[in-house]
Amino acid sequence: MESPSPKKLFLLDAFALIYRAYFAFSNNHRINSKGLNTSAIFGFTNTLLEVLKKEKPTHIAVVFDTPEDTHRHTEFIDYKAHREAMPEDLSLAIPYVIRLIEAFNIPVIALPGYEADDLIGTLAKMAEQKGFVTYMMTPDKDFGQLVTENIFIYKPARAGNGAEVLGIKEVCARYDIERTEQVIDILGLMGDSVDNIPGIPGVGEKTAIQLVKQFGSIEKLLLNTNQLKGKLKEKVELNKDMAIQSKMLATIILDAPIEFDEVALQIEEPNKEALCELFSELEFRNLAQKILGDEIPGAEPIANKTTRAASGQVSLFGENEEVIVPPADPETAEENEEQKIYQTIATVAHNYQMCVDKQSRTQLLAELMKHNEVSFDTETTGVDTMQAELVGLSFSVRAHEGWYVPLPANYDEARAIVQEFKSVYENESIIKVGQNIKFDVNMLRWYDVEVKGIYFDTMLAHYVIKPEMRHNMDILAETYLNYQPVSIETLIGKKGKDQGSMRDAALDAITEYAAEDADITLQLKAQFVPMLEQTATTKLFNEVETPLITVLAAMEREGIKLDVPTMKDFSLVLQNDIKEFDKQIQELAGTSFNVSSPKQVGEILFEVLKIVDKPKKTKTGQYATSEDVMSKLSGKHPIVDKILDYRELVKLKSTYVDALPLMVNPRTGKIHTSFNQVVAVTGRLSSDNPNLQNIPIRTERGREVRKAFVPRNSDFVLLSADYSQVELRIIAEMSNDAGMLEAFKSGQDIHAATAAKVYGVELDAVTSDMRRNAKMVNFGIIYGISAFGLSERLNIPRKEAAAIIDNYFIKYPNIKEYMDESISLARKRGYVETILGRKRYLRDINSNNATVRGFAERNAINAPIQGSAADMIKMAMINIHREFEKNKFRSRMLLQVHDELVFDLHRDEEAHVKEIVADKMRHALSLTVPIEVEMGTGENWLEAH
């Protein structure tokens, strides 16, 4: 007698899989005839079908998060605080996903106050007790802590690779630990940027693993810190409470109040009628035919695509039918065809050659010099240009042809080979084609080669053509060339601690990989040149984005000096201040409590001190103590401001003061941020590693961080040049509003002038409150502020806020006309544009959903203004850089932060540099409104600003 089949439970982490499906289509979202973005629904459907068909679970459920706060939010106010809001398209898709799951007769599980992780963890443990083998279907690494002999992680198929099942062996190997529950300790030490779990500042995954290997757990580590040394000991001892709290935040709950209903979880046949109706509404015609065998009105007949059962009806859970389920990977799934088939290096004829000796390199050089356009790429040991080394060079001048030049590990020998190609790189008559050229430019500078001439960066070209899409080469190749490039993981392994280096890759393999990169980039250039013309963005590309590459590359190489001793001293001051504030808060409370716990703060404020009669509560019933709530309570009791100060100090210390010194480059002794041109769709630059755009400036203590940014030596001072109210000036220009233009041309305080107009008083009668309100309206109008929003920000009645906005538009009628015209044009054209023609596409501008449409309308107003400001400072940077080069200044441009530029200013050049900077910033764009630039110098950034 056969033993009964094992009970096999699949628990699907809903939002993790839905987000994955949505972003897999971000380069080419699926939009149906009604304008609904069906990417997430289609991708999730494929994933679900793959599991049902291939894994044949006996039991299944899909588990959702709810919007209510959990215990983690009440214990740590910043938990998941950095999570971006759900994309509007995705929020509209969620109800359809739920309908889909219900049509499959699969239970949907959710519980307010608990995350999906907690419900999955609880159900998995309950199932284990009942003899189930459970598969937690999620890409989330946190679930590793739950893995046992009967509980597994099931990572869905992706990018052509099959599904991955992780058991005890795989999880322990991944983290080099003995027990899977030690994943919690690693997460507690290293933190989690996705969920904003702080961990111990400066402790990364590698250090966390070492500490867990040595001590076994966070608790044992904290009992034995005497065994640590140096900075690590200091970090751990200063952040003991943070480590314990982080471990708590990372721990998945296993006793959530939920029942395990074995019968309800059993697999059932789907409700075909409901599925047919849903697929028809979503216009998944061919998918419905494949799965249901049903004809949907308007469907194209499927020929030679799949073998169907004789009756035309297919049972999803049958054993013998040959129904073809669409692939689980939504990146390669297509509704209208079985599977997207890409060409690859194995299917396309090509000629990629390796040049390993002097003779072959000489022949290559001669060939390259015959052409007026060369595509090039560099292979390196890492992605940080300030620390990586060159591994090889690749070139292409014709489609499907390429060369790879390997370089030895010895720097002098490698440099000598790179120098052989100096005549190509530095030939100004040869157009240089590349993908993310700034990276290659900076790498080659370490080998004393300057890439000169005209650049064509395919990443940047695509950014100005389609700013909303992703711009990495693999996506571009698949989208525009129907070609899937060789994955770097085939050379050096998957990401993680076991990933190798390009230095270790086999020469034959790296030749194919590297030459292919140069070849594909050249082919992409041919695609993008006409697209730039079609979208009228050629001038923007040639005159703004491309010249900026050289400027940003120079700024990244230069870096800025950080006074590390000052930061360390400030860290100690903050630590003492935090302790002092903690002490004062405890005294004001009259009892001991954890000031870092929002839950306990709420209890103290509203139950012990009773500072208000009807305190606001969160959806979970806890007292609300977020920053905006607390700010409104300021003045009700001295403890409120003390708590706000305490929170500011804790965040300041961990995020900036302790973190920045760890980012000083040992090679240069400076901080080198990376400036990103292709991240913000508005055209704004961003920066990372570190993100200097977020250095605090609004609070007194926050500004202290800027004190640590200093000139390179005593011959220099820092110069800060900042646009004054640039976005307001641009809206005045674009709207041609006479009142606002006159205020700027006469040099009036624009906020006071606005207050005088709105309140109907003389300029000298404007009070500070009037000016404050007018300032909020001036800046709020740019972002489409409503009467409700203004009343919330100013803490005034909504009626008064509405009256202020109405008066504003009466006094500045062209502003209102500009806003209406921007929305109208966007509805007609589908996009808005900046003064220089940078486009922002707004496909939701005609949406029937008021929320989604409103978001698009606000972008229609704001994008041209914000984008024009971005273009202005970019043009200023380009022109300033050229003047510095022309004059051979020793002064250097170091940073761009929003509307501010920071320079290392040589004292002997001060007058000349200031004149150039002011002139180039004021006249970056040809405008009628006067542009003002505020400048200051100092021995540090704070003093200069």
Predicted confidence at residue 660, as pLDDT, reads 92
Answer yes or no: is pLDDT of 393 > 70.
Answer: yes
For residue 599, give the nearest of 633, 625, 636, 627 by alpha carbon.
625
Ranking 43-52, 337-346, 766-775, 779-788 by mean pLDDT, the lowest is 337-346
Most confident residue range from 28-37, 247-256, 691-700, 716-725: 716-725
Percentage, residues of the chain above pLDDT 90: 47
Strands 831-833 and 373-380: unpaired
Predicted confidence at residue 195, as pLDDT, reads 64
Across 273-279, average pLDDT = 87
Across 700-709, average pLDDT = 88
In sequence order, what are the residues at sequence separation of 6 or more whose Cβ sits closer than 8 angstroms to the Cβ of residue 350? 400, 401, 402, 516, 519
Across 395-408, average pLDDT = 96
Predicted confidence at residue 308, as pLDDT, reads 23
For residue 219, give the nearest of 193, 242, 243, 202 by alpha carbon.
243
- Tokens 């501010």 belong to which residue? 900
pLDDT top residue among 31 and 576: 576
Predicted confidence at residue 320, as pLDDT, reads 27
For residue range 375-392, list pLDDT tens digits in order: 999 999 988 888 899 999
3-state secondary structure of 696: coil
For residue range 485-508, list pLDDT tens digits in order: 988 777 777 666 666 677 877 888
Q: Is the separation of the CB atoms in 555 and 442 below 8 Å?
A: no
Q: Residue 161: pLDDT band by 50, 70, 90 thresholds?
A: low
Q: Mean of the per-residue pLDDT values for the chain?
A: 85
Task: Take residue 179 and report the two structure tokens written for it.
Answer: 């027990």
Ranking 135-144, 208-217, 493-502, 509-518 by mean pLDDT, the lowest is 493-502
CA dihedral (165, 168, 173, 175) in degrees, to 10, reads 100
Distances (CA, A) of 672 to 233, 392, 447, 620: 27, 24, 19, 43
Ranking 65-69, 185-189, 192-196, 736-740 by mean pLDDT, the lowest is 192-196
Longest dimension (CA), the chain: 98
Task: Take residue 865 and report the two structure tokens written for it.
Answer: 């203004």
- Between CA 238 and CA 654 the distance in angstroms is 11
- Whole-number CA gyration radius for the chain: 30
**153 - beta bridge partners?**
136, 166
Predicted confidence at residue 3, as pLDDT, reads 39
**562 - beta bridge partners?**
709
Predicted confidence at residue 306, as pLDDT, reads 25
Task: Take residue 860 and report the two structure tokens written for it.
Answer: 């229609």
For residue range 791-831, list pLDDT tens digits in order: 877 777 888 888 888 888 888 899 999 999 999 999 999 99
| Neighbour tally for 555: CB within 10 Å | 24
Strands 373-380 and 670-671: unpaired
- CA 23 centroid distance within chain: 12
Predicted confidence at residue 159, as pLDDT, reads 52
Q: Residue 459: pLDDT band by 50, 70, 90 thresholds?
A: very high
User: In three state form, how does the secondary structure of 261-273 look?
Assistant: CCCCCECCCCCHH
| Neighbour tally for 159: CB within 10 Å | 12
- Cβ-count burial of 587 within 10 angstroms (0-12 exposed, 13-18 middle, 19+ buried)? exposed
Strands (E), 695-756: 709-710, 716-723
The per-residue DSSP string of 423-442 comes to HHHT-TTSEEEESSHHHHHH
- Between CA 101 and CA 4 the distance in angstroms is 28
Percentage, residues of the chain above pLDDT 70: 88
Query: How many separate helices (H) and strands (E) can be counted in the chain?
Result: 38, 23
Q: Is the separation of the CB atoms in 170 and 213 below 8 Å?
A: no
| Neighbour tally for 698: CB within 10 Å | 6
Q: Is the separation of the CB atoms in 37 and 92 below 8 Å?
A: yes
Angle between helices 738-745 and 726-735 (to 10 degrees): 140
- Between CA 51 and CA 135 the distance in angstroms is 11
Predicted confidence at residue 27, as pLDDT, reads 54
User: Where does 760-849 have alpha helices with state H?
Assistant: 768-782, 787-794, 798-811, 813-829
User: Where does 251-400 have alpha helices with state H?
Assistant: 272-282, 285-292, 358-368
For residue 9, give the nearest of 171, 128, 155, 146 by alpha carbon.
128
Q: Is the separation of the CB atoms in 825 and 832 below 8 Å?
A: yes
For residue range 844-900, list pLDDT tens digits in order: 788 765 666 777 888 899 999 999 999 999 999 999 999 999 999 999 999 999 899
- Between CA 916 and CA 404 the distance in angstroms is 44
Answer yes or no: is pLDDT of 81 > 60.
Answer: no
Predicted confidence at residue 848, as pLDDT, reads 66
Strands (E), 170-215: none
3-state secondary structure of 406: strand
Q: Residue 339: pLDDT band by 50, 70, 90 thresholds?
A: very low
For residue 425, give the nearest of 408, 407, 448, 405 by alpha carbon.
448
Distances (CA, A) of 881 to 185, 351, 416, 619: 49, 41, 30, 53
3-state secondary structure of 409: coil
3-state secondary structure of 27: coil
- Between CA 457 and CA 461 the distance in angstroms is 6
Across 913-918, average pLDDT = 97
Q: Is the separation of the CB atoms in 755 and 770 below 8 Å?
A: yes
For residue range 88-140, list pLDDT tens digits in order: 678 788 889 998 999 999 999 988 888 888 999 999 999 999 999 999 998 88
Q: Is the separation of the CB atoms in 368 and 424 below 8 Å?
A: yes
| Neighbour tally for 617: CB within 10 Å | 12
Answer yes or no: is pLDDT of 366 > 90.
Answer: yes
The per-residue DSSP string of 374-395 comes to EEEEEEES-S-TTT--EEEEEE
Strands 151-155 and 132-137: parallel
Predicted confidence at residue 879, as pLDDT, reads 97
Answer yes or no: is pLDDT of 460 > 90.
Answer: yes
What's the predicted TM-score (pTM) here? 0.68
In sequence order, what are the residues at sequence separation of 6 or more whose Cβ sits closer than 8 angstroms to the Cβ of residue 763? 748, 752, 753, 756
Answer yes or no: is pLDDT of 349 > 90.
Answer: yes
pLDDT top residue among 444 and 652: 444
Residue 299 backbone dihedrals phi, psi, to 5 degrees: -75, 140
Task: Take residue 538 and report the two structure tokens written for it.
Answer: 């050629």
Predicted confidence at residue 934, as pLDDT, reads 94
Q: Is the separation of the CB atoms in 27 and 470 below 8 Å?
A: yes
Ranking 187-196, 351-360, 514-523 by mean pLDDT, the lowest is 187-196
The per-residue DSSP string of 516-562 comes to HHHHHHHHHHHHHHHHHHHTT-HHHIIIIIHHHHHHHHHHHHH-EEE
Answer yes or no: is pLDDT of 440 > 50.
Answer: yes
Distances (CA, A) of 587 to 603, 682, 842, 859: 15, 49, 54, 48
For residue range 604-632, list pLDDT tens digits in order: 999 888 888 878 776 566 788 888 788 87
